[in-house]
Structure 1
Amino acid sequence: MKPAYLRPLVYFLFWLLVGVLIKALFLGYHYSKTDGLTYIEIVKVFLYGLRMDASFAAYLCAFPFICFLLEGLLKNLRLSSLVNGYTFLLIPVVAALVTADLEMYNAWGYRLDATPLQYLNTPREMVASVSAAPVFLLTLVFLFLILFLGFVYQRIFRPVLEKKVNTTFTMGGKIVAFCFLVILIIPMRGGLQHIPINQSDVYFSNKLYANHAAVNLPWNVLYSLNRRNYAPKNPYKYMAMAQAQKYVDSLYTSPELPANGSNSILKSTRPNILFIILESNTAKLVGCLGGEPGVTPHLDQLARDGIIFTNIYAGGDRSEKGLVALLSGYPVQTTTSIIKLPRKTEHLPHLNQILKSQGYQTSYYYGGELAFANIKSYLLNAGYDRLISKFDFPANTYNSKWGVHDHVLLNRWLADLKTEKQPFFSTLFTLSSHEPYDVPIPAKFAGTDEATKFKNSMYYTDQSIGNFILAAKKQAWWKNTLIIMAADHGHRFPGDDPNFKPSKFRIPFLLTGGALKQAYPPVNTIGSQTDIVPTVLHQLHLPTEPFKWGKDLLNPAVKPFAFYVFNDGFGFVTPSGTITFDNISKQVISSDPAVPKQQLNYGKAYMELSFEDYLNK
């Protein structure tokens, strides 16, 4: 074939090469994880990923192929400079996506998709959340990608594309250019199969990292952008809806205890309630939960003075998802979150709404910006009387990249509660244990690595809460106050847990305060964040029907289980153990030895039914 006919193919090969180089860079950057793959598996990463690389290349070729066709149809038209400008514009965009993905994969455990876009309206918080990343190294990688890809295109591919040959304008040249444009549809779809390519087509291993490495990153971002928030139908149809309903219903069938039953732990049914949500707090660093000793001494003491629940799991791995599970008792979605859609959160039940109807004064305190991740709309829909954020503090107290540190926030909370009308319900969300873990006290634990910084931030938040409790015990309202403490989600540190591992999702949940009758032994029932609201409402003798996805953890007859989600996958925990499942490859990721086969069906049914409920909100 003459050189002019090959111009579209040459351009396609450039972007195909880019896809392969991106894959090699990902494997090299995560060399510690790549070391766990065999040479055959590494080769398969490239082979299985080639279809998606071709799809990525085809999408980027659409505009240049149209230019090539127009040049063939109009003899005096030269569009080479337009194609070159288009290419040099795309190279830094692709480089930026690839560079961001390298470090975000470490933090989140899945390839970059549309998820970070929900934070674009709060850019300072978004920057703060990744400020622990090796910025200098990533900047070098970004610049290297731009220079290297630009050099390869300029020196190798551009001369071929700009060759002046008369055959471009022959009838044969026109036909070939048109055929290339039409045939481009095939690699876009990933082949001639009925269903267009998706991530599952490049998954080949029972090792999740190998499957992730095979994914073409820019393609993944574009695919996610096209699908985010707007799923037209339930993608988790594993069984007939009636069968899924039967499985889920059986999880919640347990005899109700009488209103004045033996599980009553409160002196009063209308205590003041303080709900402290702990940012990124993991059971792995909580001594009373078997975690590393010495990191949370005040929380450990509160557990001894109150009641600690030892087997509680977060519903997801992001703050905005945890809020909905904690305050609305609502299951977490995988690749999206209901909090991003105010028209849906309007239909959620909320602990705040129940308590307001009982005459409680309500408030919500956060040291950062409430607009982050669309949280403010969720809280406004919940009807809080008063919202306090960083903008309610003097600028000289902004001593954290997120806003004000936890001790500043807790001091303001204590001062405001002195004049609060009783009974009151007030929620406070800590933030100092979020990346970049900058705390205003000397480091308790030596080390500058990210895991140690996180541990020091947890120690600081624990200290701040301990000081608050000490002062609160001196207040007149203390004797009639119930304090709820639970984490919004767990953390990959310590241990750098993979995204699906149950230890990443295990969190503290405890009840304490002067309203408790006494100290109680630990409750070992397996539960989730969605169980917290029903458990509290049962103690208040208030209806729990709106919170159908939760159970009373103080009812000894409930069935012990927890359901959590990660990026397009779920885990299901029972006394038999944990099974985790990847919804893309439709494969089990891990399963404890004693887990029965039927447990996977319960997880699938819960996934299917909860997402169907989300779609119908």
Structure 2
Amino acid sequence: MFFQKIKPFLYLGIFYLSISLLLRITFIFHPITTADFSILEVVKIVFTGIVNDIFVFILTCPFLALYFLFLSNSKYQKPYGYIILGSLCAFFLYILLIPNNIFKQYGGSVAEIAMIFIGLKIIVFSLMLFLPEKRVKIRNSMYFITIFLYVLLIIFNTVSEYFFYNEFGLRYNFIAVDYLIYTNEVIGNIMESYPVVPLFLAIFSLAVICTIYIYKKTKTELLTLPNIKQKIILLGSFCILVAISLFGLHFTTKLKSHNVFEEEIQANGLPKFYWAFTHNELDYFQFYPQINQQVAENVFLSQFTPPELKRTIQPEKSELKKNVVLISIESLSADFMAHYGNTQKVTPFLDSLADRSLMFTNLYATGNRTVRGLEALTLCIPPTAGESIIKRENNKNKFTTGSVFKSKDYTVKFLYGGYSYFDNMKDFYEGNGYEIVDRNNFKPDEISFANVWGVADEDMAKKAIQTMNAEAKSGKPFFNHWMTVSNHRPFTYPKGKIDIPGDAKSREGGVKYTDYSLRKFFEMAKKQKWYSNTVFVIVADHCASSAGDTELPMDKYKIPAMIFSEGFIQSQKFTQTMSQIDLMPTLFGLLNFNYQTKFLGQNVFSREFQPKAYVATYEDLGLINDKHLTIISPLKKIKQYALTQQKNNLSPEFNLYYDEKYLKSNLQNKKLIEQTISAYQSTSFWLKKNQLNR
């Protein structure tokens, strides 16, 4: 009897484990998985993965368990049936008519969803109450729908995990949480990037086929409903299994490996999604290794003169009040440029501009999201654990690049081709004194092409010229920070602009079109009176991909950056290791700005500059320094890798690739570990105490 009653769970569980195993094997052989696994490693991945999947499936079964728990014929007998129906109707009217009911207090569509659910429940209950001869058929139909929804969600989640891994080389993380929040952009991106109709038809068809099979194998269980004793036994068994699963996942989700791909593939996406949803911001002092706070600050501040958080920069030469245009380019990995060995000729303009610029050949992005790049360029501080400061509540009145320019009486603007509410950019930049120019500022005739992310970069270039011309007429110098959008999936852009079709949805096409748009921008800018008195800073926000064999693969963080200004900046190459947070302090040094600073980046041409770079994910915080990569992680973990540059035909400063050799604890450089902890601990402490505010 017990086996008979759990048959639906068994069939659904086998289906879930089978499709999860297929997905895991697909990940092992996916092109983005650059790791090579031994047979024993594959066995470990598969076994650990199956255990994770079993635990997760049990934890996703409460709704199905409740469905069986409430199956009963006695509830339709008089007077219980009428009492229940009356209660449901009263509940429906409560949601419909009471203005401040409990559901409406939650805001959003919660009340509407609750009303639809109760309304459907009333309809089904009424049919089964007043049509007892149809009760079995109605119950079978509802059972079929319930199984179908489970199967559909399993298949849909599997497909979603595949596309997420295909994009990021990871299971679900904070980005997936963002995708639920910014549904308009995300749904639009999916609609424009993939063949949605055939894909959804395939998912729906497969779900129907699998549901029919499971339904036929298990529908006989509805002929004899469990009595109260059997329900108590089933409920008790289920509660025990849930407790075991929660306890088990507590351990299996913490299994770590030296290979990131192994960790990701053996994991299950749903627990990772839940963890990301509940850990938007990680408390450094709870999760990461620490040293004495005063010691940490002394070690970190020793790189500055004077060794203090708030310092005064006093150049010997006079200040230069030049206009500044900072262009942060979406997903421009260094390896897209010919300088770094690319042979596809997708950045001809940027390559030519680099030859006439101050080019930083060994610069690393702080993270792998746009908000991380914007944070690094705007706040000039190392990344902190969890979500970017841009997306946190306490993100206003910070000491920023813009506040330095405003202190010099500059006009300060942030330009973005999309809607700047995305990723909380509008809230952050307006809260820090920037004016916003985004898609809301475009007239219909100013848009020649747009996709879900915003207007084409070429249209934004024209708007930027228009904005800068207006600013120049005011007589005040201007600082404009332009964030591009076209080099982003779905990689669509106007046809006939470059030799890669605009509907090819090719990343190389997206890169080349952005390069084309920048050429057009500079052609237009060169005709303006303000051009000769303007400095252009061009840098990527992050790389196109972050997947690699280690937590922080260095080639996935190296980005191009250059400063260009005709008649002012001499062409040269700066080859020392530097961070994205060093770029704007270096610019201020070139302009001889006299200012008080709280920036934690350095002018790379100053005497005290120490070559290094900060790189991070949401959890792992790294420091590249002295041919080592030191990483600190939650649970106070510390890893260190020795870096050896791989041989190739490029000059060393353009070589992207390093061998990262894991060092055991007794071989680790303790001084570099102290420097890593000092940097991230101090930054987190100052942010917590609002000491990095203006």
Specify if TM > 0.5. yes
What is aligned with 1:412? 463
> What is the alpha-carbon distance in structure 1 between the residues aligned to residue 438 and residue 232 of structure 2?
66
Distance 1:141 1:111 in 2: 23
CA displacement 1:440-482 (0-9 Å, x = unmatched)? 35475679998x9322332332232233223323332223222
Cross-structure match for 2:506: 453
Q: CA deviation at 1:313?
A: 1.0
Cα RMSD after superposing both structures: 3.9
Matched, 1:351 2:389: no
- Structure 1 unaligned spans of 5+: none
Aligned to 1:47: 47
Identity of aligned residues (%): 21
2:148 match: 88
Q: CA deviation at 1:87?
A: 4.0
Matched, 1:283 2:334: yes
Distance 1:553 1:393, change over 3 A: farther
- Give aligned pairs, total: 596
Q: Conserved in 2, the CA contact under 8 Å of 1:309 and 1:523?
A: yes
SS of residue matched to 1:365: strand
Asked if the contact 1:190/1:196 (under 8 Å) is kept, the reply is: yes
Paired residue for 2:315?
260
Return the alpha-carbon distance in structure 2 between the equivalents of residues 6 and 615 of structure 1: 57
Instruction: State the AA in 2 paired with 1:143.
Output: F
Partner residue of 2:593? 541
Alignment of 1:11-26 (within 5 A): 11=9, 14-15=12-13, 17-26=15-24
Q: Distance in 2 between matches of 1:445 and 1:496?
A: 31
For residues 382 and 529 of structure 1, the distance between their equivalents in structure 2, rounded to whole angstroms, comes to 20
Aligned-residue offset at 1:67: 5.1
- Is the contact between residue 260 and residue 551 of structure 2 (CA under 8 Å) also seen in structure 1? no
| Structure-2 residue corresponding to 1:462 | 515
Instruction: Tell me the TM-score normalised to structure 2 length.
Output: 0.75
2: CA distance between counterparts of 1:556 and 1:152? 73
- CA positional deviation for 1:240: 3.3
> Match for 1:206: what amino acid?
H
Q: 1: distance between equivalents of 2:603 and 2:328? A: 19
* 3-state SS of paired residue (1:126): helix
Secondary structure class of the residue paired with 2:158: helix
Q: 1:568 and 1:476 mapped to 2: Cα distance? A: 47
Partner of 2:214: 153
Q: Which moved more, 1:10-19 or 1:93-102?
A: 10-19
Distance change (3 Å), C-alpha of 1:66 and 1:308: same
Alpha-carbon contact 1:269-1:540 (below 8 Å) kept = yes
Give the Cα separation in 2 of the matches to 1:42 and 1:490: 29
Letter in 2 for 1:23: L
Deviation at 1:519, TM superposition (A): 0.6
Residues 106-505 of structure 1: pairs in structure 2 closer than 5 A:
106-120=166-180, 122-127=182-187, 129-130=189-190, 131-133=192-194, 135=196, 138-139=199-200, 142-143=203-204, 146-147=207-208, 149-159=210-220, 161-162=221-222, 164=224, 168-169=226-227, 171=229, 173=230, 175-191=232-248, 196-197=250-251, 199-201=253-255, 203=256, 205-225=257-277, 227-229=278-280, 231=282, 234=285, 236-240=287-291, 242=293, 245=296, 249=300, 252-253=303-304, 259-261=314-316, 268-292=319-343, 294-333=345-384, 335-341=386-392, 343-389=393-439, 391-394=441-444, 397-401=447-451, 402-420=453-471, 421=474, 422-440=476-494, 442=496, 453-492=506-545, 500-505=552-557
557-566 or 292-301, which deviates more: 292-301
Partners of 1:223 and 1:427 in 2: CA distance: 34
Deviations 1:164-223 (A, max 9, x none): 27xx4375x3552342143134233133xxx9346223x4x4332222121122333233
Task: Write out per-residue CA displacement over residues 95-128 of structure 1, whole angstroms, 9 at most, x where no aligned residue.
Answer: 3222122112121121124523434565453245
Aligned position for 1:597: 668
Report what 1:519 is aligned to.
Answer: 570
Question: How much has 1:16 moved relative to structure 2?
Answer: 6.1
Q: Does 1:510 align with 2:562?
A: yes
CA distance in 2: counterparts of 1:59 and 1:245, whole angstroms: 43
User: How many angstroms apart in 1 are the aligned matches of 2:506 and 2:579?
Assistant: 27
Matched, 1:7 2:78: no
| Cα distance change, pair 285–260 in 1 and its aligned pair in 2 (3 A) | same
- Kept in 1, the 8 Å contact 2:20–2:53? The answer is no
Give the AA of the match of 2:53: D
Report the 3-state secondary structure (helix = DSSP H, G, I; strand = E; otherwise coil) of the residue aligned with 2:20: helix
Contact 2:16–2:154 (CA<8 Å) still a contact in 1?
no
Secondary structure of the residue aligned to 1:522 is strand
CA deviations over 1:284-313 (Å, ceiling 9, x no partner): 122345544743333233333331111111
Unpaired runs of at least 5, structure 2: 78-135, 645-660
CA distance in 2, matches of 1:253, 1:500: 27
How far apart are residue 580 of structure 1 and its match? 5.9
Partner of 1:569: 620
Deviates more, 1:438-447 or 1:533-542: 438-447
Secondary structure, in 3 states, of the residue corresponding to 1:426? strand
Any conservation in 2 of the 1:71–1:169 contact (CA below 8 Å)?
A: no
Cα distance in 2 for partners of 1:142, 1:251 equals 58
Amino acid at match of 2:377: L
Q: Distance in 1 between matches of 2:183 and 2:76?
A: 47
Q: Secondary structure at the match of 2:287?
A: coil
Name the CA shift for 1:209/1:232 in 2 (closer, same or farther; >3 Å).
closer
SS in 2 for 1:438: coil
Instruction: Say which SS state the counterpart of residue 479 (structure 2) adopts.
Output: strand
74 and 222 in structure 1: CA distance in 2 versus 1, 3 angstrom threshold: farther
Q: Deviations 1:312-370 (Å, cap 9, x if unpaired)?
A: 111111112211111121333455232222x3111432211221232111222222111
The answer on whether the counterparts of 2:418 and 2:438 sit within 8 Å (CA) in structure 1 is: no
CA distance in 2, matches of 1:338, 1:157: 51
| 8 Å CA contact retained: 2:403, 2:433 | yes
Change (3 A) 1:449 1:374: same
2:49 alignment partner, SS class: helix
Shift of 1:426: 1.3
Q: Which amino acid aligns with 1:362?
A: V
**1:70–1:449 CA distance, 2 compared to 1 (3 A):** closer
Q: 1:474 to 1:526 in 2, by over 3 A?
A: same
- Amino acid aligned to 1:177: L
Using the alignment, how far apart are the partners of 1:389 and 1:211 within structure 2? 40
1:359 & 1:419 partners in 2: Cα distance?
Answer: 16
Q: For 2:501 and 2:495, locate their aligned partners in 1 and report how far apart those are by CA, in whole Å.
A: 14
Relative distance call for 1:520 and 1:467 in structure 2 (3 A) is same
The CA distance in 2 between the partners of 1:478 and 1:352, in whole Å, is 20
Q: 1:412 to 1:583 in 2, by over 3 A?
A: same
Q: Deviations over 1:138-160 (max 9, x none)?
A: 5466336523542453133444x
CA contact (8 A) 2:412 2:478 kept: yes
| Matches of 1:417 and 1:475, distance apart in 2 | 9
